[in-house]
Amino acid sequence: MLADDVLGWVGLNRGHSAGAVEINPVMGVRHQVVEQRVAEALGEKFHQYIPPTVSSPLGYLMGGRYKAWFVAAVDDAQSVAAEIAGVVEQVGLPFMRSNMGLNRLVESIQGGLTASREQGATRLPVALSAAGECAGARQVIETELDRLAGRDDPAANRFRQFAQGFRPLGPAD
């Protein structure tokens, strides 16, 4: 826990490559208030840990490119785990701490540090309203609704549902 309502989040994506287990760590930050409000707006049950509000693969935080770790044998596991833990401490934790505040969270969402465009579209208005920028939150929603005009797919319909259920967190301006 980074703060009362902010969780640090580590995901360990894994796959197989040439007989080895490939591990792609993802660093995240979960703002519980933001996620609670998104769930409410969508009429969904709030989940305590999933998804992170913002996230990035650890390799991109290290140097802007994909980086995975490989475990080819059981004997490799401990040293690979120690290396990943060291990089999480050196790079991942500063990323998490830098996204604790609402203004930085807004910047990160605007910069695309969400799992998908659709995820960012629902988190940005909530984060803006929590930061006291209710007019900005409403503008983001209107812009996204305009962008989705004429679309009748699950993602567009889900955003429309969010827009209908959205209630600003801050004072109206």
Q: Residue 173: pLDDT band by 50, 70, 90 thresholds?
A: very low
How large is the C-alpha radius of gyration of the chain?
A: 18
The one-letter amino acid at 77: A
Q: Which pair of structure tokens corresponds to residue 132?
A: 């006291």
What pLDDT does residue 171 have?
55
Helix residue ranges per DSSP H, 7-165: 32-42, 58-63, 77-87, 93-98, 102-110, 117-130, 134-148, 154-165
Domain range summary for the chain, segments of one domain joined by +? 6-165
Neighbour tally for 101: CB within 10 Å: 14
What confidence score (pLDDT) does residue 170 get?
Answer: 58
* Nearest CA among 172, 147, 173 for reference residue 160: 147
Average pLDDT, the chain: 93
pTM higher than 0.75 for the full model? yes
Q: What percent of the chain has pLDDT over 70?
A: 98
Given this model, what pLDDT does residue 74 score?
Answer: 83
